[in-house]
A and B are shown apart, each in its own frame.
Chain A
Amino acid sequence: MNLLTHAADFLVNHPELWLTKAGNQVVLSAAALGVALAVSLPVGVATGHLHRGSFLAISGGNVARALPTLAVIAVLLTLVGIGFLNIMLALVVLAIPPILTGVETSTVFVIATAYLSSVAGSNATLGAVITDQAEFGLGGVLGATAVIVVIAFAAAGLVAGLRRLATPKGLRIARQERTQMVSLAGSRTAPQEAAPATS
């Protein structure tokens, strides 16, 4: 209970702080997702069009997720230094793989991981509150986490909405329930994966 009160106190007393940092987190995440989309869409279109290589693209992409973001940040330090570019590129590495299975998954992952900017030279995101308990305590950690969760939900909803708009109406009705159910988990692998097996 005490912890919840502290979290609420943090959110009530420092709105300008967490709003700014949340805004930065959104900008950072959007930039990473944009680059990731630009890189992976051609790959997705190619594999979808050619009906081959999709297993490789999905598996390879999925497996690259096992690369710890912290290690990517360390490697990028020697290439591009620290700061916005470092964490942005690290998030791109994180975002590309799940994009092949579902943009919502990528969105959620990237937003939830963008806090790591705080160990890559930029305290602009909510990671500043999460990694520094000295100033706002565990309540701050919880409050900042709540903000991230809300952003992630909103962004995933937005992406799902955009995709529904882009889907033809007939297909939309047939897929509606299914898509809502499984899209976040990226389980569109199921139908995609079935393609090479049946062709």
Chain B
Amino acid sequence: MKPHQTETTTRPRRRSRSGPALLGTLALAALLSACGSSSPASSPGGTSGPSGTSASSSSTSSTTSSSSSASALPGAGKPTIVLGDKNFEEEYLLGYLYADAFKAEGYHVVLKPNIGGSSLINRVFQAGKINAYPEYLGEIAATDAGYTKPLTSEAQTYKLAEAYEQAHGATVMKPETPFYDTDELVVLKSFAQAHHLTNVGQLKGLGPMKFCDYPSEENRYEGYLGLKEAYGLTNLQFVPLSTGLQYQALDRHECTVADAFSTDPQLLSGKYTPLADTKHIFGFQHVGLVIKSKLLGELGPEFQTIYAKLTDLLTTSVMQALNKGVVIDKASPQTVADAFLKANGLLGSRS
């Protein structure tokens, strides 16, 4: 109910691996100075993404060399975009997707990958060390704007996020991604078929069943509490489990229902059926590019066009597949991002 305060450090959340809102000023100071330096290799924890750091430095240099031949492109002569991203695979992917798509249109982009969690990257953005970053709209509403009540619609979430950014000289670009990365209830496909399940509410009449989720979710509205309060699912018995083990637990029938992330690559296997969250207790976590308003004006209308073209392609199944490339197949985020851009004709003359 107060996600920005109750976010624990113990759950490896892909969407928002962030600590409590109050981070040590020491850490922030160190981070800001690291971001201010010109070398992308100095970004904190840069070694954690699979070959993320080395890939970013090579891509930066390749743009510089190719920019002279691309003077006819819309990005030529426009101000530099300093693009940041957060500290997990999906964000590394989004960073490379946007950076390399903009570069292909001649924009000068410096990518600063792996900056930190939601509140940290927001402060780095406020401090002007980066001037754009892809962010989940529900995170802006809850973590940055401090909105503590349950969110009711995608439009309301966007409005809250946009109001916060406008007040800070920035804007959330439209459209937001078709995909969203929220918690999601999953069951075995065989179980869903046997009971004709498509949404969460239908679990109600099915008698007692075990529900596996990370322990910190037991008393959150965006978790077990919401399932009981909004859906009346008092038949669910909470079983606390380490994140990542829930798929194996489903396979072994240790639990009937499990909490997952909607863009988990494991969901591509076809063994599991996600249940629709019709009462939206898990919120709205579509991604939009947060950008300084002044910079957006200077980048011109073509920038909006190329942004929209790429963003519209980022559906849930696309993100699951790209996450699979990084998380399961262990390819580097840039390799995966560029393969996607190339296949969709967004890498321009460089491909």
A-side residues, CB < 8 A to B, are 70, 73-74, 77-78, 81-83, 118-123, 127-128, 131-135, 137
Complex interface: chain B residues within 8 A of A123 (CB):
215, 218, 238-240
Closest partner residue, chain B, to A122 (CB atom):
B240
Interface string of B225-245 (1 = CB under 8 A from A): 000000000000011111011
**A132→B241 contact, CB < 8 A:** no
**What is the bound-complex CA distance between A132 and B248, given in angstroms?**
23
The residue that A118 contacts in the complex, of B212, B223, B240, B252, with Cβ under 8 A, is B240
Q: Which residues of chain A are near B215, meaning CB under 8 Å? A: 118-119, 123, 127-128, 131-132
Cα distance A130–B274 when bound, in Å? Answer: 30
Chain A residues near B1: list those with CB within 8 A. Answer: 134
- The answer to whether A77 and B252 touch (CB under 8 A), given A128-B215, A131-B215, is yes
* CB-based contact A74/B242 at 8 Å: yes
Q: Count the B residues whose beta carbon is within 8 Å of the partner chain — how many? A: 24
Shortest Cβ distance from B210 into A: residue: A121
Asked if B293 is at the interface of the complex by the 8 Å CB criterion, the answer is no
The chain B residue sitting closest to A73, CB to CB, is B242
Interface string of B306-348 (1 = CB under 8 A from A): 0000000000000000000000000000000000000000000
Q: Which residue of A lies closest to B3 (CB)?
A: A134
Assess whether A133 is in contact with B8, with CB atoms less than 8 Å apart: yes
Residues of chain B in range 251-269 having any CB-CB distance to chain A below 8 Å? 252, 254
Asked if A82 and B6 make an inter-chain contact with CB atoms under 8 angstroms apart, the answer reads no
The residue on B at minimum CB distance from A115 is: B215
Q: How far is the CA of A134 from the CA of B220 in the complex (A)?
A: 6
Q: Give the chain B neighbours of A127 by CB distance below 8 A.
A: 215, 240
Contact B218 A82 (CB under 8 A): no
Cα distance, A133 to B223, chains bound together (Å):
13
Asked if residues A131 and B6 are in contact (CB atoms below 8 Å), the reply is no
For the A-B complex with A128-B215, A131-B10 known, give 11 more contacts whose Cβ atoms are closer than 8 Å. A73-B242, A77-B248, A81-B252, A118-B215, A119-B214, A119-B245, A122-B240, A123-B240, A131-B8, A132-B215, A132-B218
Are B216 and A82 interface neighbours, CB within 8 A? Answer: no
Chain A interface main SS type: helix
Question: A135 contacts which chain B residues (CB < 8 A)?
Answer: 218-219
Contacts of B217 in A (CB 8 A): 132, 134
Q: Contacts A131-B10, A132-B8; is A120 near B216 (CB within 8 Å)? A: no
| Minimum C-beta distance from B306 to chain A (A) | 41
The one of A81, A119, A122, A134 in contact with B242, judged by C-beta atoms closer than 8 angstroms, is A119
Verify B220–A82 contact, CB threshold 8 A: no
Determine if B249 and A82 form an interchain contact, defined as CB atoms under 8 angstroms apart: yes
- Give the distance to chain B from A132, nearest Cβ to Cβ, in Å: 5
Pairwise interchain contact B219-A82, C-beta atoms closer than 8 A: no
Contact of A77 among B216, B219, B238, B245 (CB under 8 A): B245
Chain B residues whose C-beta falls within 8 Å of the C-beta of A77 in the assembled complex: 245, 248-249, 252, 254
In the assembled complex, which residues on chain B have CB atoms less than 8 Å from the CB atom of A137? 6
Q: How far is it, in angstroms, between the C-alpha of A183 and the C-alpha of B8 when the chains are bound?
A: 36
User: CB < 8 Å: which of B6, B241, B244, B249 contacts A133?
Assistant: B6
Measured in the bound complex, the distance between the Cα atoms of B244 and A25 in whole Å is 24
Pair A131/B252 contact, Cβ less than 8 Å: no
Query: By the criterion CB–CB under 8 Å, are A82 and B241 in contact?
Result: yes
Which A residues touch B239, using CB under 8 A?
82, 121-123
Q: Is there contact, CB below 8 Å, between B240 and A128?
A: yes
Q: Is A134 in contact with B252, judged by CB distance below 8 angstroms?
A: no
Q: Which of B6, B240, B245, B254 contacts A134 (CB 8 A)?
A: B6
A163–B219 alpha-carbon span in the complex (Å): 43
Tell me whether B248 and A120 are in contact (CB under 8 A). Answer: no
Q: Which residues of B contact A119 (CB under 8 A)?
A: 214-215, 240-242, 245
Q: Is the CB of B219 within 8 A of A132?
A: yes
9 pairs of residues in contact across A and B, judged by CB atoms under 8 Å: A82-B241, A120-B241, A120-B242, A123-B238, A123-B240, A127-B215, A131-B8, A132-B215, A132-B216
